[in-house]
Amino acid sequence: MSTMLNYTRLPVTFVKGEGAWLWDTQGKRYLDALSGIAVCGLGHAHPKVTTAICEQASQLLHTSNLYNIPN
């Protein structure tokens, strides 16, 4: 967690996501209208995205964009 706080956290903790929906610790469902503040526009736990992430992470997770990456 960053030590630089830029906003106050809301009193909800999400434990699950599926598509455009999130669930909190009490089982209440929310529409994810923020999409991870613009970084998760594909939804949560989509099977094809999950598979692609797992396949890529098993080979190479991240390098600087200064280097070429074959795929």
pLDDT of residue 20: 87
Q: In this model, does residue 21 exceed pLDDT 60?
A: yes
User: Where is pLDDT greater, at 1 or 63?
Assistant: 63
4 pLDDT above the threshold of 90: no
| Bigger pLDDT: 9 vs 36 | 9
Average pLDDT over residues 30-40: 76
Report the pLDDT value the prediction gives residue 1, as an integer from 0 to 100. Answer: 57
Q: φ and ψ at 53, to 5 degrees?
A: -65, -45
Predicted confidence (pLDDT) at residue 29 exceeds the cutoff of 90: yes
Distance CA 53, CA 57 (A): 6
List strands edge to edge, sheet with 29-31: 14-18, 21-24, 29-31
The whole-angstrom separation of Cα 66 and Cα 64 is 5
C-alpha to C-alpha distance for 49 and 43, rounded to whole angstroms: 9
